[in-house]
Chain A
Amino acid sequence: MRWLILPAVLTLAVTAHGAEPWEEVSGALGQVEALPSGALSKAELEDLIAIGDELFIAKFTSAEGAGRPAATQAILPTKRRNPATSAFARTSGSDSNACSSCHNDPVPGGAGDFAATTFVSEGFTNSDFDTTDPQFSNERGTNHLFGAGLVELLAREMTAGLHAQRAAALVKARQTGAPQTVDITTKGVSFGSITARPDGIVDTSNRDGIDADLVVKPFGQKGVMVSLRQFSVNAMNHHHGMQPVERFGPRWTGEADHDGDGFADEIRAADISALVAWQATLEPPARITPEDTTWRDLAATGSQNFDAFGCATCHIRTLPLDSLSFADPGPLDTAGTLKDRDVAEPAVYELEFLEWAKTLERDDQGRVLVPLFGDLKRHTMTDRTNERLGNELLAQRFVDRTAFATTELWGVASTAPYGHRNDMTTLDEIIRAHGGEAAQSAMAYRDATDRHRTTLIAFLKTLVLN
């Protein structure tokens, strides 16, 4: 046993949430006494997931620290210039009570309706805004989280691959005394090329769809989040005003109550671990075979058209994954989000324990074929003739406003509406909105016959959340 559950969780029959029925708190916090570490058994993992489930649906209250009257939504601990006039605001936040307030369609962990969009801003200046004017924030739809553990594992392996290629190029450049220009490709996805020089300099100006650090950041519409842990830490503060200790605690802010709501150490690292465990183990979406023969036939043709139109260039059907061992904290986070080097031994969640893992296809090398329909890469999505997706004014975290990460299409049939703003009600609309690097594919779709367009939609409608 490498972690402990407080007695409260063992008395679920009495108080489902570790709090008395009359207490106005979620009761979900603090059930994991110590940060999980080492390889968890199946039972231990299931217990942790159960706590994570509670945390995900918990409606945090002001009686346990919800709200951030003295802090902004910024990912860096930032004090407000003026006290918040209200605890919640749909624009600048805090904007929800629970994770599942937005990630709820069709079930917790799912996507969100247009009603559940959020407004992303840096939160450093102009952190309070009461307008949806895009000069203050970018409006973002809520993505679903199913299969997120597999996505993060893919991203980690891809990053390791890219970094290994960079390291090898540097070694060769230093050994030969000559610059080495190498294509950087991982899991079949090309990220352009880099040039390593004998003096240890790496020129990444010809990289493609990735930051200069060559870290694949798989989460968020812009592909800017490294890990579920980082996302969770950010989101807890932004959306709920629940400040995780690992970033907002005394070590970085000098305060136990940075947001000034009277509650110290609002979310401990162990709680974040439980949240991560729950998200990382969510079953991936599936592709169904319709019982309706007409739909089945259309989908079969649509699958072919998916390739023919060029959709699969970016929405790659599967990416191979070497390992189903999910370590948390992970290897790629930086200070402010726990990373593996911060702890004696990260916890390891074997996704193999989960029933759904048995359904995953494997290739002849034994690698899991993750059916995400994505490439974990950014692409320019607008051009002069099609700016439908170019409606933002603010660059987010160094990413140009016209660039977005490829949306993984698994589960797309269950997660309407579409687009980074969740403002397109049909798949037809979002396909037509593709511009920039996807313009050719969108044109192929637009130029196709009604029937062929229908087949593609029919195919996409088979990609559902279980």
Chain B
Amino acid sequence: MRYTLATLLLLASASSSLALKMAFPFDIPMMEEEAASAGIAHTYDGPFEYFVGGGAASFDCNGDRMADVFLAGGAGEAQLFINRSKAGGALAFEKIDPGLSANDLRRVTGAYPLHIDGDGILDLAVLRVGENWLLKGNGDCTFTKANRLWNYDGGRAWTVAFSATYEAGNRFPTLAFGNYIDRTAPGSPWGTCEANVLARPQGTDEVPNYSTPQILEPGYCALSALFTDWNASGEAALRITNDRQYYRGGQEQLWRVPQDRPARPYRTADGWQRLQIWGMGIAARDLDADGRPEYALTSMGDTKLQALDDESGEDRPIYRDQAFEKSATAHRPYTGEDGKPSTGWHAQFADFNNDARTDLFIAKGNVEAMSDFAAFDPDNLLLGTLEGGFYEAGDKAGIALKTRGRGAVVEDFNRDGMLDLLVVNRGEPTSLFRNLGRRAKPETDTGPMGNFLAIELRDETGANLSAIGARISVKTGNLTQNQTVAVGGGHASGQAGFAHFGLGVAERASVRVQWPAGENGEAEWSHAYRAFADHHIVITRGAAEPLMWFPPQ
């Protein structure tokens, strides 16, 4: 179609640009649910304690760099599934025995993978109603309970939130456990929130020692926690989102965690503004590449999208909500007849359509049978727009199911460069969506989307092998995309492995890494690595070139 200038001027009078005439001209991924055929048969369920939680951990437990999954089961058993998918093929998983008793696998609300003892094998922090487990990975997808070995008291709390960071000068990670309701307190559940726990490694032993945790009081019924370097100071603070349903006088929290000193919360005097939401999940991403992350906070009703306000300062965390202006409130179901408010849980930024614009996934689902909130509450797939906002494409993508979503992982399970999606649903089978690519003509057909780059970091200078806290900066043309390697956030769900970047039409990218300080060193920027699109690369701290990785065929 060709426009004459005169025609164009007429068009321009009706709309400021041709772009405005197109609702969403970019690729919408087709997500095909194939949990059953992939061998994932799993349900998260149970009584009141399992209205929340329902997490998943995605990580490689057998050294093949394919993402295996550990799924919380609530009152039922958690299950571990080994990824047997082939590159680009249908998703395939095989359930295996993680080497734990059935009792140990019950009462699990969520899990996060991370390197705890630095032995080169990923470990697992398992959150439970009751004693939490730190599981030491054995390398063959079996695990050994290591609470005693690492002097960790798993407590008796109802834990749903977790995060970890490697503080400068420490060999082992600092762990934060976010607890929900203290069920034993008088008047429970109303106003009886459990305090949270900050477990920092003690001493100089060869093995982690978490014998002296700090109790983070007050606790406000935490449902998600995330260590995040909110002000690019090099020192992570602990952000906690809390459920106003049960606290009294509570609010969202941000704790300073200064090196070698006790953690303490930011207060009004520091600029921290009181925010009360039904906080369920946290996602962080530096959406505008200014070095300071933005945060999506899920809730009942509208999701928050927080960015630092102009009045914020170096140590003044003042945020403003951008959710409305960016069409990210996701406050009601976007399809169906149910107009009641939504209930949001897991949140995760990712680029599902590889267009180099960040998307936002939100798992949705009624708590149980709350009549004031939507019963049909489909998960959101908010695709990033050119203007920095979001466009809801959950129904078009095929993820608008009648399920009650909780935790989730966004991961490229078949290593085809397109992000897939696993959603743990309460009381219903877990969903597993394979990303088939863009919808093409005819409507049943699919096609490739934009280019991608998947980056795994290796820091072999200490125990922080996954380089938690590292910032990956990918530059294509004038566009910079930043991601931070983090453990925590979402809703009871974590993952370890490749960081995924959509590159759009860029055929290559320059990659720089800001490595974390580590046990003895200092934070430092790498040189610019050269990477070609549509590859998985592994960058080892200090290496001259990235290495390429290829999945099993």
> Is B5's beta carbon under 8 Å from chain A?
yes
> Is A129's beta carbon under 8 Å from chain B?
no
Q: Which residue of B lies closest to A247 (CB)?
A: B505
| Smallest beta-carbon distance B140→chain A, Å | 15
In the complex, A171→B507 CA distance in Å? Answer: 27
Let me know if B552 and A174 touch, CB within 8 A.
yes
**Quick one: which of B8, B385, B505, B547 contacts A336, CB cutoff 8 A?**
B505
> Is B521's beta carbon under 8 Å from chain A?
no
Let me know if A262 and B3 touch, CB within 8 A.
yes
> Is A115's beta carbon under 8 Å from chain B?
no
Let me know if A342 and B3 touch, CB within 8 A.
no
Residue numbers in B under 8 Å from A213 (CB-CB): 532, 535, 548
Residue numbers in A under 8 Å from B19 (CB-CB): 250, 254-255
Residue numbers in B under 8 Å from A344 (CB-CB): 445
In the complex, A203→B26 CA distance in Å? Answer: 36
How many residues of chain A are within 8 Å of chain B by beta carbon? 48
In the complex, A199→B355 CA distance in Å? Answer: 30
> Is B1's beta carbon under 8 Å from chain A?
yes
| Smallest beta-carbon distance A202→chain B, Å | 5
Let me know if A257 and B18 touch, CB within 8 A.
yes
In the complex, A122→B504 CA distance in Å? Answer: 17
Contact with B along A165-195 (1 / 0, CB 8 A): 0110011001000000000000000000000
> Is B27's beta carbon under 8 Å from chain A?
yes
Let me know if B25 and A77 touch, CB within 8 A.
no
Q: What band does the interface of chain B fall in when counting residues whose beta carbon is under 8 Å from A?
A: 35 or more
B interface: dominant SS: loop
Let me know if A77 and B505 touch, CB within 8 A.
yes
Contact with B along A303-339 (1 / 0, CB 8 A): 0000000000000000000000000000000111001
Within 8 A of B (CB), among A259-278: 262-265
Q: Which residue of B lies closest to A214 (CB)?
A: B548
In the complex, A289→B494 CA distance in Å? Answer: 71
Let me know if B477 and A74 touch, CB within 8 A.
yes
Given A76-B505, A263-B3, A398-B508, check contact A202 B25 (CB 8 Å): no
Q: Which residue of B lies closest to A226 (CB)?
A: B507
Let me know if A264 and B2 touch, CB within 8 A.
yes
Let me know if B448 and A201 touch, CB within 8 A.
no
Contact with A along B520-553 (1 / 0, CB 8 A): 0000000000101111001000001111111111
**Quick one: which of A64, A122, A256, A335 contacts B505, CB cutoff 8 A?**
A335
Let me know if A264 and B508 touch, CB within 8 A.
no
Let me know if A212 and B548 touch, CB within 8 A.
yes
Q: Which residue of B lies closest to A197 (CB)?
A: B547
| Smallest beta-carbon distance A152→chain B, Å | 16
Residue numbers in A under 8 Å from B1 (CB-CB): 256, 264-265
| Smallest beta-carbon distance A5→chain B, Å | 18
Let me know if B550 and A200 touch, CB within 8 A.
yes
> Is B506's beta carbon under 8 Å from chain A?
yes
Given A252-B505, A398-B508, check contact A76 B355 (CB 8 Å): no
| Smallest beta-carbon distance B87→chain A, Å | 10
Given A200-B64, A262-B8, check contact A256 B504 (CB 8 Å): no
Given A212-B532, A256-B18, check contact A199 B64 (CB 8 Å): yes
Q: Which residue of A lies closest to B415 (CB)?
A: A200
A-B contact pairs, 27 of them (CB 8 A): A76-B477, A76-B506, A77-B505, A78-B478, A166-B550, A199-B64, A199-B549, A200-B549, A200-B550, A201-B549, A204-B545, A204-B547, A205-B544, A211-B532, A213-B548, A247-B505, A250-B25, A252-B505, A255-B19, A263-B3, A264-B18, A334-B451, A335-B354, A335-B450, A336-B451, A344-B445, A398-B530
B interface residue numbers (CB < 8 A to A): 1-5, 8, 17-19, 22, 25-27, 63-65, 354-355, 385-386, 445, 447-451, 476-479, 503-508, 530, 532-535, 538, 544-553
Closest 10 CB pairs of A and B: A336-B505, A250-B25, A76-B477, A254-B386, A213-B532, A398-B530, A262-B8, A262-B5, A335-B450, A335-B451
A interface residue numbers (CB < 8 A to B): 30, 64, 74-78, 122, 124-125, 166-167, 170-171, 174, 199-205, 211-213, 215, 247, 250-257, 262-265, 334-336, 339, 341-342, 344, 397-398
Q: What would 5 more interface pairs be, CB under 8 Å, given A200-B550, A262-B4?
A: A250-B25, A252-B504, A257-B3, A336-B507, A342-B447
